[in-house]
């Protein structure tokens, strides 16, 4: 089956079908993940909790968490953080937006928290990445 998980850039080989699930259960999980990822990717700038996401997706925490773990091998928060960092990197490299604007654009109201998360993810601060890119040109 070829279900494009998330309209955001997402490799199809990241889907891991749990061997103990029926085909119908797997399809249902993939549809839930697709809808959730699409919603979150369109709303990267918003604050999300697992409860608020579940409310929008009309599901419960256990169902959503289990679907992400079984199908994507990561939790909802990890997936969201990854997509936020990827979007931030893209904005740093392709726009002249300042770091605070980028931070807000990807859902971080606190620039220091954003920079710490970015550095943990990419092993460079946002400013270092931007300076390195400018140096490489």
Going residue by residue through the chain (137 aa), what tens digit of pLDDT does each one get? Answer: 334 445 444 444 455 555 567 898 889 999 999 999 999 999 999 999 999 999 999 999 999 999 999 999 999 999 999 999 999 999 999 999 999 999 999 999 999 999 999 999 999 999 999 988 776 66
Residues 18 and 70 in one domain: yes
| Pair 50, 87 in one domain | no
97 with 51, same domain: the answer is no
Confirm whether 42 is domain-assigned.
Answer: yes
Domain that holds residue 46: 12-74
Whether residues 111 and 96 fall in one domain: yes
What CATH number has the domain bearing residue 124?
1.10.10.60
Last residue of a domain, which of 74, 90, 108? 74
Contact 21, 29 (CB under 8 A): yes
Scan for tokens 């990445």, then name that residue: 129
Helix (H) or strand (E) holding 133: helix 126-136
Residue 6 lies in a domain: no
- What is the number of residues in the chain? 137
Same domain, 38 and 64: yes
Quick one: 65 and 95 in the same domain? no
Structure tokens at 80: 């969201």
Pair 93, 121 in one domain: yes
Has residue 53 been placed in a domain?
Answer: yes
Predicted TM-score (pTM) of this structure: 0.82
Cα–Cα dist 108/45, whole Å: 7
Same domain? For 66 and 93 the reply is no
CA distance 93 to 129: 8
């Amino acid at each position: 089956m070829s279900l494009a998980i998330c309209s955001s850039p997402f490799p199809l080989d990241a889907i891991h079908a749990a061997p103990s699930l029926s085909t119908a259960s797997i399809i249902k999980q993939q549809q839930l993940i697709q809808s959730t990822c699409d919603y979150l990717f369109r709303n990267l700038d918003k604050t999300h909790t697992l409860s608020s996401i579940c409310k929008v997706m009309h599901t419960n925490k256990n169902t959503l968490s289990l679907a992400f773990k079984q199908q994507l091998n990561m939790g909802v928060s990890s997936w969201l953080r990854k997509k936020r960092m990827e979007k931030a990197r893209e904005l740093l490299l392709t726009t002249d937006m300042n770091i605070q604007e980028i931070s807000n654009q990807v859902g971080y109201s606190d620039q220091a928290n954003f920079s710490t998360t970015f550095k943990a993810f990419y092993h460079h601060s946002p400013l270092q990445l931007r300076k390195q890119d400018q140096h490489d040109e």
